Amino acid sequence: MKFENTGLEKKKADLIRLDELMLAYGLVRAGQWDYERVTYDRKFDLKEGVYYLRVFGYAVEGDVGADKAVIQLMTPALGKHYYPHGVEYGADENYPKTLVSQCEKILNDLNAEIEKFEQ
C-alpha cells in the first residue's frame, strides 16, 4: 500500500540529518542502501503478521556511501512480509486499520520535521 500525497515525495534533505530523524521514529537505514538509493524501514510485528513501513529515497547530489548526499524522498509504502518470499505491497493485502493510522501519523510527523531543514 502506498501512502500518496504525504508531502514527503516533495522533500529533499541531507542524508545525515535524515538518518538521525528517521531513527527517532524507528525507521532504520541499516543495509538498505547503495551509492544512489536509500530505504528506511520500520518493522511492526503484529498478531496479523509482520509489516514494514518503508520510506524510499535517492541521491540527487553526492554519494550515500560517503555519507555526503542530498536525498530526494519518494512515496512511502506499507508492506506485509511473507516468508520466504519477502515483502508484498499489493492493494489486495489487508492492513490493520490501527497500523495504517499509526503509519500515517508517523509520516505526517516526519513531513513536519523535515520541513524544518529540507533543501
Cell of 30: 541499516
In angstroms, the CA 78 to CA 89 distance is 6
Burial class (CB in 10 A: 0-12, 13-18, 19+), 57: buried
Contact 17, 118 (CB under 8 A): no
- Among candidates 95, 2, 86, 9, which has minimal Cα distance to 44? 95
> Whole-number mean pLDDT of the chain?
93
Q: For residue 20, give every residue at least 6 positions away whose Cβ sits within 8 Å of its Cβ, in sequence order, or none.
A: none
Residue type, 8: L
Residue type, 95: Y
- Where in the chain are the domains? 13-41
Cell of 79: 508492506
Q: The pTM is what? A: 0.91
Q: What is the CA radius of gyration of the chain?
A: 14
The model's pLDDT over 32-64, given as tens digits with 9 standing for 90+, comes to: 778 899 999 999 999 999 999 999 999 999 999
Residue segments in the chain with a per-residue pLDDT below the cut of 70: none
